Amino acid sequence: MNDDLTARRESILESVRQFADVSLAAREFVPGESTVPVSGKVLDADDMVALVDSSLDGWLTAGRWTTEFQDTLADYVGTRAASFVNSGSSANLVALSALTSPKLGKRQLKPGDEVITVAAGFPTTLNPIIQNGLMPVFVDVELGTYDAIGDQLREAVGPKTKAIMMAHTLGNPFDLDLVQELCKEHKLWLVEDSCDALGSTYRGQRTGSFGDTATVSFYPAHHITTGEGGVVFSKHPLVTRQVESFRDWGRDCYCETGQDDTCGKRFQWQLGDLPLGYDHKYTYSHIGYNLKGTDMQAALGLSQLRKLDFFVKRRKENFAYLYERLQGVEGLILPVATPNSDPAWFGFPITLADDLAVDREELMRHMETKKIGTRLIFAGNLLRQPAYRNIERRVVGDLRNSDTVMNRSFWLGVYPGLTESMIDYMADTLINYVTGKDGAR
């Protein structure tokens, strides 16, 4: 790049920084007037500069920013590879689909094979199981941790079981000791949905590094954001190749975008019924997708990743402060971290005890009238949802707690954009309602 273009670029980026410093400046919080979001992005001038800087390259698909983002993220989590995709939902789809590849030999997942998951979860943890013709096996969750009941996990393993695919609910790691034990004993794949748990640890090891494949989401609500976006982590080079293939149209070629002949024999392959020498760049070994992210998204992700440790720290501080405010309030079942874990909480889950005479929907409507954001614990019992009522499945137990989650649970925000005064207002509003002090009940 010549000196004139370099100077012009630097001038543009300095203007962007000045604009961002003003447009993103914090605003005064006024209880009852200002919104208390349940989640949200936290952007600064560095993020805006990264977005514009990458766009000035004019390379609009995956490129140098994507490569650096993938490598840096894999190092952070502590796994071999990270493959950037266009959403966390796509990440889940690719992470499981990759394990259906015939190139995995006897361990290939085939239609009818069983995959264990939980009933109280998010649809995109379940959907890839169904979309790949696999059989979901549902277990119930514990109240408090909202993770799988251990005894039911053991009971769920049968002769057709080939994988476990579960999420770390709201950032709280599931029992990885037990899950890894089951996977080792029964030779199961582990697909670790860590979309809500970037920065969480189990026995000091970061989530996303345990699974044969694992996923993270970068939707604006999550720990860092690329707008839309996600990543598939993988440990084994053979699995990584299948992840990239399913992400990139199902192609057999593994050249990076913009590169040719990485293998050194582009016109020497003979695969399937194709003629000898058919261009390897246009040879397809899977029925795949195009789920790549863009360099602009990756540039934002790199900028956000530099602040991740701070974001995780703030989430933990906000969680601890809200817990302190709500501890001892009768009728509220507060969240519990899984033993051996240190969650980077995505949200603060609460279940209303059966003997608390409070209607969950009325409470949430009340909070919303006070401009306090609330959310359900995703789909509740997935098998009660219209989309899943008639799917083929196997169920362990009666899913009683999943029904409780569906009817009596919700969560509040702890994301880094919340201040102590916001959390105080949120806690006071909730306490006054459930105790009847504000007359709302």
Say if CB 125 and CB 96 are below 8 A apart: no
Positions marked active-site: 222
Nearest Cα neighbor of 119 from 95, 136, 98 is 136
Give SS3 for 84. Answer: strand
For residue 106, what are the contacts with CB-CB under 8 A and spacing of at least 6?
none
**Cα–Cα distances in angstroms (integers) from residue 123 to residues 84, 89, 97, in the given order:** 21, 9, 16
Longest Cα pair distance anywhere in the chain, in angstroms? 80
Amino acid sitting at position 35: T
**Cα–Cα distances in angstroms (integers) from residue 373 to residues 169, 263, 364, in the given order:** 19, 52, 8
Give SS3 for 439. Answer: coil
189: which DSSP letter?
Answer: E
Structure tokens given for 436: 């009847």
Say if CB 217 and CB 304 are below 8 A apart: no
86: which DSSP letter?
Answer: S
171: which DSSP letter?
Answer: G
Amino acid sitting at position 83: S
Give SS3 for 224. Answer: coil
